[in-house]
Amino acid sequence: INILNKALARLKMFYQPATLAQVSAHDPKADPKAGFAVAPRPDSGKAYEKSAGSGGVIQLLMKVIEDAELETKELEMGEQKAQEDYGELVQAATATIEQDRALIAEKQEL
């Protein structure tokens, strides 16, 4: 669950505009070495933009975290119930063994 929370924090830092750092971009069409013969740059295609659907990713990750926390709680309750049942089983077995010992001792006296 901790790793999921860390991933969520990273996604929020990346996708939420309030936390974005403003970085000035250089002109990609500028010549890297003025005065030298350089092959023309290939078309760069579309500029990189962050996905507008990122909210869905963040919400999905939040849902996964909630489900993991719920599953963890259910597993802890199940483990506790199993330990209680085991304790009762041990007590019942101990009582049965003591009864059997008492019956054996009684029969040996006869």
CA-to-CA distance for 8 and 71, rounded, in angstroms? 19
Coil, strand or helix: which one is 26? coil
Q: Taking the CB of residue 68, how many other CB atoms lie within 10 A of it?
A: 13
Mean pLDDT of 5-10: 84
pLDDT at 43: 67
At residue 4 the predicted structure's pLDDT band, cuts being 50, 70 and 90, is: confident
How far CA 21 is from CA of 13, 14, 44, 51, 64, in Å, comes to: 10, 9, 24, 17, 28
17-57 per-position pLDDT tens digit:
654 444 444 444 544 555 555 566 666 666 656 555 556 77
pLDDT at 104: 92
CA-to-CA distance for 89 and 44, rounded, in angstroms? 71
51-108 per-position pLDDT tens digit:
555 567 788 888 899 999 999 999 999 999 999 999 999 999 999 999 999 999 988 8
pLDDT at 31: 47
How far CA 12 is from CA of 60, 61, 65, 66, 78, in Å, comes to: 12, 11, 14, 17, 34
pLDDT at 14: 76
